[in-house]
Chains A and B, each alone.
Chain A
Amino acid sequence: MTSLSLSDHHFRANALRKLLDPVNILMIGFLAVLAYLVIWPFIQLVVHTLTWGDTDRRLSPDAIPGAFTWFHWLQATAGPLSGKMLYGPLVNTLVTGIASTILALLAGGMLAWCVVRSDMPGKRWLQPLLTLPYIVPSFAIALAWETVFRSPKVGGQPGLYQSLIGVAPPEWLSYGAVPISITLAIHYFPFAYLLVAGALATIDSQMEEGALISGAGRLTILRRITFPVVAPAFAAAFILTFGKTIGQFALPFLLGAPTQYHTVATMVYANLALGLDSLAFVLAIVLIAMSLAAIWMSNRFVGKKSRRFETISGKGFRSRVIALGGWRWPVFTAVALFAFVVGILPLILLGVQSVMLIDGFYGWENLTAHFWLGTSNPDIAFGEPGVLHNTNILGATWNTLKLAFITAIIASVLGLIIAYIVVRRGDNPLARLLDQIAFIPFMFPTIAFGAMYLTLFAQPVGPIPALYGTFTLLILISVVSRLPYSVKTGVSAITQIGKELEEAAELAGASWSLRFRRIVMPLASSGLVSGMMVSFVGVMRELSLIILLITPSTRVLMTVGFGYAEEGLTQLSNALVLIVAVLTMIGELILWGIGKGRLARLREKQS
């Protein structure tokens, strides 16, 4: 009798504890909020594909607006068009997605190792350079590729390759799978680089020294210690890179369209451009499914092994770099050359094009600072003043920086909390659901996402005021769209932190929020900063996500640049892209400085 009541009491206390557990409360809270901010738009997307729209009478005489139909799905998967619209592009998507992801992970991983773990010289300034390709807009990389490997067919001046070698480059080098995979890898390897560098920074040299003393060779150490430790970071980088490369349409369009090489993402875009939204959404859902499958696979992989890779423990920490010996300078030369070609060269190209009075005409007499410093001259660019004289630019710069900083900070902190829930409650299906939901915005067609947010908060809902046309709405959609990055970087950071640190603090009576603020956040700071930088860069150049939500008073730099590009003012839009790139670099350095400072102080305290 007594024992029964005791166990009953025990059970209730346990249930109560579970109910009051702040992590569980947070998990439920996040699920509820994301249900509205992510699932609801997603459901709208799915419903849209399964109902006849007002405009579908164009597609079929049987259309009854509002009624249920499989028509759009059948069209895309089984109709006469399906081969050209879905299956062909699907193969191309898989080929370029996998090829570019492998290339990006290899490049990012090797570079991270060189920068963090070796004694390569010049690390201090190589480090920021290696994130440049992500800062440089993808079209600039495509532009650089075209400048070199331009086919003589497209007219104008011959490419660099042809000028130097004397023969035209083969077509597979100018357009199609090869250039798309390589340029995508160049654009996205910084994900892998940042994430793996963050993980490598937490490796305790004592583990490696221990192995060395036990007689393990260099390669064995790399294989048995270094690689397993960074595996979660690689997994996160794999998902982000794969997801991003299969969803990217700008690069495949530039380098694939000239020869009709289509991917699923370019087909989504094409259908949207033609106003065929339902078909576009069907293809977008295919992309979402593909990336969710990739997450599921990598979660299985990381979930099984992650416990073994906890590297941040309560014990002392020492980090010692590995001597490269005679390889120091050759490695440095290779890395520096790589950084120059993929990071700086495209920027130089943009810079050169922004000081040419007449675009595409190379000659000293054609150089001008007008597009930077000039005041309005009716003979040049229809009287448009130089970018530094444009009154819109100052306001837009302030808006852009505000949006990027606030979004980066909110997104990475929220991402870290969600990541904490995902990792620490990994056995709870709700936590895994949260992980999947947080990734959906990654693959959402951005224009459609923006359109749904336009009126999501048009009227006040409970305590939330109407957000239509406000800056807050821009921050909200930017944060949600960046969650996939920050959750993934957060997961790779949290996986490395041993539970015992928190358990000790808990025994000492520290509350969860105190533990999170004082233990988890500082220890995850290198991952946190990586997440912030990735989010920051993304928001700086976002356009299609927010184009419908921008008002003249919340204008950002990319909308000004869009105006220039639309008018064919190439030099002005190049100058603006350069400004965005430079501001992004400054912002990154600030974020990096903050993060590094915190991490350094922490290390000092530990040792």
Chain B
Amino acid sequence: MKLSAFRSLLLATAIAVTATAAMADEAWRKRAGIGEFAPAAQNWEEIEAAAREEGQVVVYSVSSRIAKLVDDFRERYGVEIIGHDIPSDLQIEKLRREHKSGVYGVDVLFNSEFPMLLNEALPNELVWNFLPDTVIGDLAENEKSPLLVQRHSSRVLFYNTALNPDGPPIDSLWDLTRPEWAGRTLLPSPLEDGLSANFIQTILAHPDEMAAAYEREFGAPIEYSAAVTEAVDSNPLVDKPDAAMEWLHRFLNNQPIFQGSTTKIFNNVADVKQDNPPVGITSFSKMRSNEEGIYAAAPMIDLDPVFGVTYPTALMIADKAPHPNAAKLLIRYMMEEEGLKPWNEPGDYAARAGFEAEQVREFDLPPFDSLKLWPIDPDEIYSSKHNFLALYLALG
């Protein structure tokens, strides 16, 4: 009797605490005009005035280039950007822990870890999507929701153009598994670099395309190695072997060279003073490092079935942001020309169609949609991380 009374007291307290938290959260959303309280029309004069009042905006940023916006933004709106330079996955870890202890200090997240954002941060209401109405017409549906996309970056295969005047030395991802390419592919280790893991995971998610590409390359249907069949047998989460696994197995056993820095990979591929240049998987935007007579490399855009993997970077408002109006203002600003400038470079494509068209002209590159790139599948990558590690270790 006594115990049950105690229990119900505990339960009541628990409900009260949860309810208070929920109410506080609701009050914040109401005040900030976020979520279900988002107004039908955005009044930018009001937002700007309120932002000036708030005086600052705190950002967790995946790129240190956020610092380049500080002066211009202050001049325009009288708001100080406080930028924390933190890798994407750690931003989410930090935000999660801060929330748990009732510390609410950050306003905006600038983050490219979509697998965790969509599967952890968004469903747990740690972050909120905010779509400035000024950019709606310029974005595709999947760039507006579930999160506002600022730009698309990619990891792609580069070759040395100076020493391969007739074009790329290979024409298929399967070429990387041939003996003559043993020990001649550079990439960041998928066990060290999250984006490199995403690259391999995205290939693993396209077994049919990889099988078709195999037939085009070798003219015969694929046969699985014993190691692949064994790896499948010992892994309860995988049903049957497929071409993508076979590719990973052959690729890993063809002595790929893992290097930590994407800059170094580009330089090693692009160095014109060498005899037998390797190919390398690195950031698309590294092509800005080409220098007459020193570095010459280009992405192999015709590679079969794809020459790389692309991933978006998003802007969002943190739950219980102390400066919600300044946050909205900054997000709008970072979608505009001035605010995008630090990230305007060849290989990174702006989400806004208008700016992308300008980039295509300026950098003489094909439009983003026409590129043979696979976008990452955030849910697939998120749910198969462990499975990927298992396969990777078993096949390597």
Contact = CB atoms under 8 A, between A and B. Distances in A.
Interface of A: 54-55, 58-59, 80-81, 84-85, 152-158, 253-254, 257-260, 262, 266-267, 269-271, 273-276, 279, 358-361, 382-383, 392, 447, 451, 454-455, 458-459, 468-469, 547-548, 550-552, 559, 562-568, 570
B4 interface: no
A80 B394 contact: yes
Interface in B271-326: 271, 273-274, 276-278, 280, 286, 289, 291, 294-295
Given A153-B183, A565-B261, A276 B385 contact: yes
A58 B189 contact: no
A155 B83 contact: no
Contacts of A567: 63-65
Nearest to B99: A455
A84 B274 contact: no
A275 B384 CA distance: 11
Contacts of B278: 153-155
Nearest to A551: B84
Contacts of A262: 191
Given A156-B274, A358-B291, A257 B189 contact: yes
Given A257-B258, A360-B267, A154 B186 contact: yes
Contacts of B194: 273-275
A272 to B, nearest CB: 9
Pick the most buried of B184, B191, B387: most chain A CB atoms within 10 A of its CB: B191
B129 interface: no
Pick the most buried of B116, B278, B387: most chain A CB atoms within 10 A of its CB: B278
Contact of A468 (B65, B103, B120, B268): B103
A73 to B, nearest CB: 15
B116 A58 contact: no
Contacts of B386: 58-59, 274, 276, 279
A453 to B, nearest CB: 10
A382 B65 contact: yes
Interface stretch (B38-46, B85-93, B140-148, B215-223): B85-93
A391 to B, nearest CB: 10
Interface string B357-394: 00000000000000000000000001111111110011
Interface in B217-258: 234-235, 252, 255, 257-258
Interface of B: 63-65, 67-68, 82-86, 89-90, 93-94, 97-98, 100-103, 105, 116, 119-120, 183-184, 186, 189, 191-194, 197, 234-235, 252, 255, 257-264, 267-269, 271, 273-274, 276-278, 280, 286, 289, 291, 294-295, 342, 382-390, 393-394, 396
A469 B105 contact: yes
Contacts of B82: 552
B390 A80 contact: yes
B266 to A, nearest CB: 8
Contacts of B255: 153, 259
A253 B276 CA distance: 25
Contact of B268 (A156, A266, A275): A156
A81 B120 contact: no
Contacts of B260: 253-254, 257
Pick the most buried of B67, B192, B382: most chain A CB atoms within 10 A of its CB: B192
Given A254-B260, A361-B294, A260 B192 contact: no
Pick the most buried of B103, B382, B383: most chain A CB atoms within 10 A of its CB: B103
Contact of A81 (B67, B98, B101, B389): B389
Contacts of A267: 191
Contacts of A259: 255
Given A154-B278, A254-B260, A270-B192, 10 more contacts: A81-B389, A154-B268, A257-B189, A260-B258, A275-B116, A358-B291, A382-B65, A447-B90, A451-B94, A455-B103
23 contacts: A58-B384, A58-B385, A155-B278, A157-B273, A257-B189, A257-B191, A262-B191, A269-B191, A269-B192, A270-B192, A273-B191, A273-B197, A274-B385, A359-B267, A360-B271, A361-B294, A382-B65, A459-B101, A547-B90, A548-B93, A551-B84, A552-B84, A570-B261
B382 A58 contact: yes
